[in-house]
Amino acid sequence: MDAGERLVVRSTPLADPGDLLARLPHAQALAWVRGGEGIVGWGEAARIVVPGAEDRFARAGQWLGDLFAAADIDDTVQLPGTGPVAFGGFSFDPKSSDSVLIVPKVVLGRRGGRAWLTTIDDAAGRPALLRQQLPPSRVSWSDGTLTAPQWQRAVAAAVERIREGRLGKAVLARDLRAHADRPIDTRVLLARLADRFPACYTFACAGLVGATPELLVRRVGDRVDSFVLAGTTARGTNPADDAARGAALFASAKDREEHAYAAEMVAGALAPLCTRLDMPAEPELFTLANVIHLATPVHARLEPRRSVFDVVAALHPTPAVCGTPTDVAMDLIRELEVMDRGRYAGPVGWVDARGDGEWGIALRCAEIDGPRARLFAGCGIVADSVPEDELAEAQAKFRVMQYALEG
């Protein structure tokens, strides 16, 4: 939008629109949906590419704050996600300039059984159910930046640094390339992911599509929630096998250490911003369609005048996607991964004019560019990590987006 223009925003109640993802009119989708609830959007009323810097969250918050403060807002619904909303994704590495915020012209939302439509500047509202979408076909696969043996050697190098006492944990990721015979329709991927992984947050923003199990932060008023995941095992072949694998994960000293790093960091980062913090002493098991995680729910009360961006800035990057100490782990990632993660493992989600929002960590995702896709998977490396086991864990995590692409 041109400088000096102001948004004219209208949010009105709506009869149940049905499947939110089915209402997306084209593949340039914006989405944040879990269990059938959430928001989807299309069109662009405003967009900003945030420069790479340590203060990129503060810059984004300032830009949005100015934009939303000047807007003409008529919101008769008054729920989190009504009024003007920005979808966004931030780079994992502050040195990367891949961060973006998009304010869509149209948003459809559902929360707690109530639905709404938001339009900006009289944009066209809800479309009818659309023509059949074509799934990807003839998908071929190739190595990403590192082959599997090269990545295993990177894991072994990280283990050596950890055993030398240079750091406690590092998260190493690898990428995988896919190519289809026609442009990939992100709506097909979103529908498959939402159907297969309803407990995850299915998201799309500026070509990054995925289903993340990890909630970095939800802010509604002064309440803040986070959901820490670290420590993973593949699902079993039957309920008894699942139970045995879950018990072994819960008892694993290596996985419990990895999880403790992440949970303690989240608690430490939130404490200065909050007036109250509640976190259980031990993790729980969180089971998805393909893997089992160790998980810790965190609940807090946010100090007045804090926005969701303040919390995102304090939490990112967590040890679950970077390591500890953060600076040492980040340097090791840059050295051993030999790639730019882009927005993989960075914050992804939405924020509204009240400062409410939901931000997850962009995991189990892929960058979509025409007929090409770049998938990502990462593993927490500690002193007892075995390269072969970490490769198997990464392969299990790739299967989420492989399923989305191949069905």
Match 């299990």 to its residue by tokens: 396
Question: Can you give the three-state secondary structure of 208-229, one letter per residue?
Answer: EEEEECCEEEEEECCEEEEEEE
Question: Minimal CA–CA distance to 13: which of 150, 111, 136, 148?
Answer: 111
- Identity (one letter) of the amino acid at 323? G
214 flagged as catalytic:
yes
For residues 298 and 228, is the Cβ–Cβ distance under 8 A?
yes
**Signed CA dihedral, 265, 266, 270, 276: sign only:** negative
- CA 105/CA 122 separation, integer angstroms: 9
258 flagged as catalytic:
no
Cis bond before residue 317 (omega within 30° of 0)? yes
Which entry of 5, 54, 95, 214 is annotated as an active-site residue?
214
In sequence order, what are the beta bridge partners of 8? Answer: 72
List helix spans (H) across 220-375: 239-251, 253-270, 308-315, 326-337
Which entry of 105, 169, 258, 337 is annotated as an active-site residue?
169
Number of Cβ within a 10 Å radius of residue 209: 28
Match 């990129």 to its residue by tokens: 56
Number of Cβ within a 10 Å radius of residue 132: 6
Active site residues: 169, 214
